């Protein structure tokens, strides 16, 4: 893969996006089509706690003449905050990884039941069945599916409002997801021959010592890469984390974090990596 990337005349990467196999609105084939339309030629699928979509995406990318690496975005916990660790160029058949993801998916079911109970208490009858109607992969239920249901029933005026009022971190119907630590996720990805990436580090609201503690746990477990330019960052975040990568010697990744039209940014439009940073694809496997 490394050599194929090096042979490209012009590279337009997007190494972070979601499909119907987790909480995205599009199939792997549709994502490939959108990527191609936008001129992207290197892409990864990074569904939450799920690798199933990679097989279809790999075939679709090959048919479209795009370079593809299999990926995942692992839900983890650090200091009571939900932190995401992306794995790129992973072996999607690695048993330890699949076992850990299966556990988290089971925990998602338990959390959905607990969140539905809270929503019922708030007067939203049929919350679990309602959310399940929006699930697109029977083995993965997400807060997004609750948000879509709350929006469809008119309980909230917008998708975002579902998070702001009810299911966002710390809100009345929020229940945390039982998941591995940041360090455990890094080790799982390394064990699956992949490259761990600390996803959208600007989104957690961490500053100073707390941010450094997160970076240190990631680094101490073997993590070398942080996302610098991403649709989940503001412009200011992109600049701030490019500086952190420079100062602390992190390799840089880039991706839209695309889920659906109208939010974040289109596929491939997350902003170029500064040319003085080492890009993540230099760490991909040779073939």
Positions touching Mn ion (CB under 5 A) are 23, 73, 84, 199, 257
Q: How far is the CB of 146 from ligand AMP (least distance, A)?
A: 8
Half-sphere exposure of 223 (CA within 13 A, CB side): 32
Does the protein bind ligand AMP through residue 176 (CB under 6 A)?
no
Half-sphere exposure of 132 (CA within 13 A, CB side): 10
Give all strands of the β-sheet with 13-14 in edge-to-edge order. Answer: 13-14, 42-45, 67-78, 81-88, 195-198, 225-230, 251-255
Residue among 36 and 259 whose Cβ is closer to ligand AMP:
259
Give the integer Cα–Cα distance in Å for 200 and 227.
6
Does the protein bind ligand AMP through residue 142 (CB under 6 A)?
yes
Give the residue ranges of DSSP H helices in 192-252: 208-220, 235-248
Give the residue, chosen from 17, 20, 21, 23, that forms a contact with ligand AMP under the rule CB under 6 A. Answer: 23
Residue among 120 and 178 whose Cβ is closer to Mn ion:
178
Residue among 34 and 259 whose Cβ is closer to ligand AMP:
259
Does the protein bind ligand AMP through residue 144 (CB under 6 A)?
yes
Q: What dihedral angle (degrees, nearest 10) is formed by the CA atoms of 236, 73, 224, 13?
A: -60
Does the protein bind ligand AMP through residue 160 (CB under 6 A)?
yes
Give the residue, chosen from 12, 34, 36, 48, that forms a contact with ligand AMP under the rule CB under 6 A. Answer: 48
Residue among 86 and 283 whose Cβ is closer to ligand AMP:
86
Site for ligand AMP in 197-256 (CB under 6 A): none
Closest chain position to Mn ion (CB): 84
Half-sphere exposure of 193 (CA within 13 A, CB side): 13
Give the integer Cα–Cα distance in Å for 74 and 90.
12
Give the residue, chosen from 126, 168, 191, 266, that forms a contact with ligand AMP under the rule CB under 6 A. Answer: 168
Does the protein bind ligand AMP through residue 92 (CB under 6 A)?
no
**CA geometry: angle 287, 60, 146, nearest 5 deg:** 110
Q: How far is the CB of 22 from ligand AMP (least distance, A)?
A: 8
240, 283 in Cβ contact below 8 A? no
Residue among 50 and 73 whose Cβ is closer to Mn ion:
73
Stated as kind and residue range, the H or E segment containing 101 is: helix 95-121
Q: How far is the CB of 252 from ligand AMP (least distance, A)?
A: 21
Q: Where on the chain is the footprint of ligand AMP (CB under 6 A)?
A: 23, 48, 75, 142-144, 160, 163, 168, 177, 259
């Amino acid at each position: 893969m490394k050599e194929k990337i090096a042979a490209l005349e012009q590279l337009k990467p997007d190494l972070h996006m979601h499909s119907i196999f987790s909480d995205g609105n599009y199939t792997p084939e549709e994502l490939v089509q959108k990527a191609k339309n936008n001129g992207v030629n290197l892409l990864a699928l990074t569904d939450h706690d799920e690798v199933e979509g990679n097989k279809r995406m790999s075939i679709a990318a090959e048919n479209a003449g795009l370079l593809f690496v299999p990926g995942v975005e692992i839900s983890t916990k650090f200091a009571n905050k939900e932190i995401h660790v992306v794995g790129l160029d992973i072996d999607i058949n690695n048993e330890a990884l699949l076992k850990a993801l299966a556990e988290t998916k089971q925990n998602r079911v338990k959390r959905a039941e607990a969140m539905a109970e809270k929503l019922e208490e708030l007067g939203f009858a049929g919350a679990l069945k309602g959310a399940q109607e929006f699930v697109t992969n029977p083995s993965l239920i997400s807060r997004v599916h609750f948000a879509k249901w709350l929006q469809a029933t008119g309980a909230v005026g917008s998708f975002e409002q579902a998070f702001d009022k009810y299911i966002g971190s710390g809100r009345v119907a929020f229940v945390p997801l039982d998941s591995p630590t940041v360090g455990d996720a890094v080790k799982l990805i390394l064990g699956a021959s992949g490259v761990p990436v600390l996803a959208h580090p600007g989104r957690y609201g961490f500053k100073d010592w707390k941010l450094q503690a997160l970076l240190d746990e990631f680094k101490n477990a073997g993590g070398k890469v942080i996302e610098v330019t991403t649709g989940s960052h503001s412009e200011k975040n992109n600049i701030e984390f490019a500086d952190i990568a420079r100062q602390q010697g992190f390799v840089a990744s880039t991706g839209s974090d695309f889920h659906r039209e109208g939010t974040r940014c289109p596929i491939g439009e997350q902003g170029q990596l500064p040319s003085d940073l080492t890009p993540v694809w230099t760490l991909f496997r040779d073939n």
